[in-house]
Chains A and B, each alone.
Chain A
Amino acid sequence: MMKRNWREGFSRRELLKTSAGLGAGVALNGLLPSMAARAAGPDLNMWWWGEQELPGLKAVVDDAVKSYTAASVKPMLQDTAVVISQFQTAAAAGEAPDIQFLWNGIYHMESVWLGYLQPLEGLVSDQVIKDSSPTLLSRFGGKTYRVGWYALPMIWIYNKDLYDKAGLDADKAPATWDEFLAACEKLKSAGIAPLGGGIQDGYWGEWYFGHAIAQNVDSAGEVIGLFTGERDFREPKYHEHWVKLEELKKAGFLNADMSSTELYPGIDLIPAGKIAAGQSVGARVPKDSEMTKGRIGTMVMPVYGKGKLAGKPIFDSQGLGIPTKAKNPKDAAAFLEYLQSPEQLKLLHDKTGWIPANTNFDLSVITDPVVVDMWKRWGQSENIPYLANLVPGQFYEQALLPSAQQVVEGKITGEEAGELAYKVAKEWRDFNPDIVENYKKWSTDLGG
């Protein structure tokens, strides 16, 4: 998913970790040819993203580049708004980099269909691919197009102190929707906002869809059907989640300033004790746990649905791939394998405080029981893909984000959201007939 900005604890120490140094140096970088000590071997261009979401990642990249001697890697941090378009236009012109950062699912699958990315089998060893946790959504036609880089569990969190205050069992999060509604009632009576965050920038709606649509489907392929036209958003089970959101809004269970707060400031409200529960990402747990002295709980979205995927933890990862026209694909693959080595995995954890996607990562360095517990359930147990990664761009912009925003505002009902979704899905099909065909093929890889 896009632009998961991440609040940095803004202590000076943090800043120094992530700072780009004095401005003059930055500008000079742009004017003068790279003066970095050049390793022997070929030049590799690496376009990447993630510092915006995981501060410290830039230090990881810089260190890895410095310590890698088999090639001279030139990293370029991309701006969130253009990660995909910049890559695609470059690829179309034959100017693609050797390594490209790839968000999961449709965000890179579209590039696969346009012929801009090549399968990693044959370049990167199969074992490395598997261990790196690219997830199911990186597969098409039986081939894998990414290696995983850092982990992205999609979770719900709740403030244990607030749960205590409302007389709820802080160590047993509600598992069913009815239990959840009962908990919300208690929280509301205690004067606490039971659920919410910030939806002003829209992304909360994407996360909500990713969590909730899973409840009523049996496979990722079924979700694809909603876009290719085989299934219809107007069917109750496919917009039930928006109806549920509407109910939450009507019952007064959402925080009042949700519509004018942005995603990350919204999540902050939970450890800060202003909201009892909400959606979040695994990467925030270490900091949030530290800030609340371990009083943050993680949970799966309470279940109301009857699909096979209901109630399962969601695991996603950010990844890297190799463009079709990369000038040095074998060397690029070697660097990707290098990044999956134990030392590099440890480096990632050291600089970012977060967990790499690779299953070989030595977890003994993690001491916080909250994080360990979360990882046990999200990283190491049966999990499902993050289904919002299947959403086509046009639908994302014009239906996915606006629908939840408008439901939370009280402007439309859940059913009307379903109508909007149906309409925009159809528009998408009209505007992009070439991609629809590919979606249909993709659905077979996803159990559809």
Chain B
Amino acid sequence: MADRMDLAQRIKPDQVLKHGVLVVATLVALMPSLFMILTSLKSQDEYIFNKVGFPQHIVFEHFHNVLFESDFLGWMVNSIILAFGAVILSTVVSCLGAYAIARMQFRGRSLLFSISTSLMAIPPVVMIVPLFVLYTQLSLISTFQGAIVIYAGLITPFSVYLLTSFFRSLPKELFEAARIDGAGDLLILLKIVIPLSLPALLTLVVVNALYVWNDLLIAIIFLQDDSKRTLMAGISVFQGRYNDQIPLTMAGMVFASAPMIILYLAFQKHYIQGLMAGSVK
């Protein structure tokens, strides 16, 4: 019975149409990445007359140049430092704050939560003028610590929102049982709540790290020093410097996008979940 239905499905013409739609959509989605990869393997001379299509001669010199003779590696390290620092700072601050909001009573609790959540809708660009002026006065421009604080601040409202929802969903009995055993708030947070929250925390880390990694605006304004440049700001510089050397530029893009693509393919589920939850970013 199942076989016959299967066969019937396969023959229907509108199945072909639906597959067609998906194939077209997939090609559209893939095309830039395909171009990026194929072009990065062509020599500069070949690209001039073979823009579309497979490379006739595969060359790796562009990758060599990007890896060893450009600043890409350094930029990537800077981005990692920032993502790391901002995510850690924000996660700690958010866990403490969300825990109190979710499970403690205090005056101003709901006001704090409402304000914190509303901040998610404020465009980051609105904050840059005063922060830029302040940072110049405090000599914090082009410092990791300065930028980390800003990034942490920008990602915290979302973190608090997510963690509060999650903490609120934990069963009350858990806390009651622990309190009866004499555990204080901090212990409960560290030994019970956090371990249980690992899925939510993982989602949080993914979304937040991505946000910092992908950011361009804050990076350009607050990390102006050549040695502190992030990957995204570096891409802007790189493509400007070598803008007529398209295969080389594409090699740089391959390099820059590789971490994300690898992480995506490895952790698809968390990635997708995280991005859906963070879709206001």
Check if A79 sits within 8 Å of B227, measured CB to CB.
no
Complex CA–CA separation, A346 to B238 (angstroms): 29
Q: B74 contacts the other chain (Cβ, under 8 Å)?
A: yes
Q: A268 contacts the other chain (Cβ, under 8 Å)?
A: yes
Residue of B nearest to A88 (CB): B136
Question: B residues within 8 A CB of A23?
Answer: 71-77
Closest beta carbon of chain A to B131's beta carbon, Å: 12
Residue of B nearest to A3 (CB): B240
Question: A residues within 8 A CB of B70?
Answer: 15, 19
Question: B residues within 8 A CB of A30?
Answer: 78, 144, 225, 227-228
A92 and B136 in contact, given A12-B65, A22-B73 (Cβ under 8 angstroms): yes
Complex CA–CA separation, A8 to B74 (angstroms): 21
Q: Which of B111-155 contact A (CB under 8 A)?
A: 132-133, 136-137, 139, 141, 144
Residue of A nearest to B62 (CB): A10
Check if A24 sits within 8 Å of B136, measured CB to CB.
no
Complex CA–CA separation, A48 to B110 (angstroms): 51
Complex CA–CA separation, A92 to B135 (angstroms): 12
Check if A95 sits within 8 Å of B136, measured CB to CB.
yes
Complex CA–CA separation, A78 to B75 (angstroms): 15
Contact of B226 among A16, A76, A81, A92 (CB under 8 A): A76
Contact of B73 among A24, A76, A81, A82 (CB under 8 A): A24
Q: B59 contacts the other chain (Cβ, under 8 Å)?
A: no
Contact of A22 among B44, B68, B248 (CB under 8 A): B68
Check if A79 sits within 8 Å of B226, measured CB to CB.
yes
Residue of B nearest to A89 (CB): B136
Q: B229 contacts the other chain (Cβ, under 8 Å)?
A: yes
Check if A29 sits within 8 Å of B136, measured CB to CB.
no
Residue of B nearest to A95 (CB): B139
Q: Which of A220-251 contact B (CB under 8 A)?
A: none
Check if B244 sits within 8 Å of A7, measured CB to CB.
yes
Q: A43 contacts the other chain (Cβ, under 8 Å)?
A: no
Check if B65 sits within 8 Å of A264, measured CB to CB.
no
Question: A residues within 8 A CB of B244?
Answer: 7, 262, 264-265, 268
Question: A residues within 8 A CB of B137?
Answer: 93, 95
Question: A residues within 8 A CB of B3?
Answer: none
Closest beta carbon of chain A to B239's beta carbon, Å: 10
Complex CA–CA separation, A76 to B133 (angstroms): 20
Check if A26 sits within 8 Å of B74, measured CB to CB.
yes
Check if A81 sits within 8 Å of B220, measured CB to CB.
yes
Q: B245 contacts the other chain (Cβ, under 8 Å)?
A: yes
Q: A31 contacts the other chain (Cβ, under 8 Å)?
A: yes
Check if B71 sits within 8 Å of A264, measured CB to CB.
no
Contact of B69 among A19, A264, A265 (CB under 8 A): A19
Question: A residues within 8 A CB of B233?
Answer: 79
Residue of B nearest to A30 (CB): B227
Residue of A nearest to B246 (CB): A265
Contact of A20 among B44, B71, B136, B248 (CB under 8 A): B71
A5 and B241 in contact, given A79-B229, A92-B136 (Cβ under 8 angstroms): yes
Q: B210 contacts the other chain (Cβ, under 8 Å)?
A: no
Question: B residues within 8 A CB of A181?
Answer: none
Q: Which of A58-101 contact B (CB under 8 A)?
A: 76-79, 81-82, 86, 89-90, 92-93, 95
Closest beta carbon of chain A to B244's beta carbon, Å: 4
Question: B residues within 8 A CB of A10?
Answer: 44, 65, 242, 245, 248
Complex CA–CA separation, A196 to B205 (angstroms): 50
Complex CA–CA separation, A79 to B222 (angstroms): 11
Complex CA–CA separation, A29 to B132 (angstroms): 23
Q: B243 contacts the other chain (Cβ, under 8 Å)?
A: yes
Residue of A nearest to B80 (CB): A27
Check if A262 sits within 8 Å of B74, measured CB to CB.
no
Check if A24 sits within 8 Å of B224, measured CB to CB.
no
Check if A79 sits within 8 Å of B224, measured CB to CB.
yes
Question: A residues within 8 A CB of B73?
Answer: 22-24, 26
Q: B81 contacts the other chain (Cβ, under 8 Å)?
A: yes
Instruction: Give 8 CB contacts A-B under 8 Å.
Output: A5-B240, A7-B244, A10-B242, A10-B245, A15-B65, A27-B77, A78-B224, A79-B229
Question: Given A12-B61, A79-B229, 15 other A-B contacts at CB below 8 A?
Answer: A3-B240, A7-B245, A8-B242, A10-B65, A16-B69, A20-B71, A20-B226, A26-B74, A29-B227, A31-B81, A78-B225, A79-B220, A89-B133, A89-B141, A92-B136
**Could you list which residues of chain B lie within 8 angstroms of chain A, going by C-beta atoms?**
44, 61, 65, 68-78, 81, 132-133, 136-137, 139, 141, 144, 220-221, 224-229, 233, 237, 240-245, 248
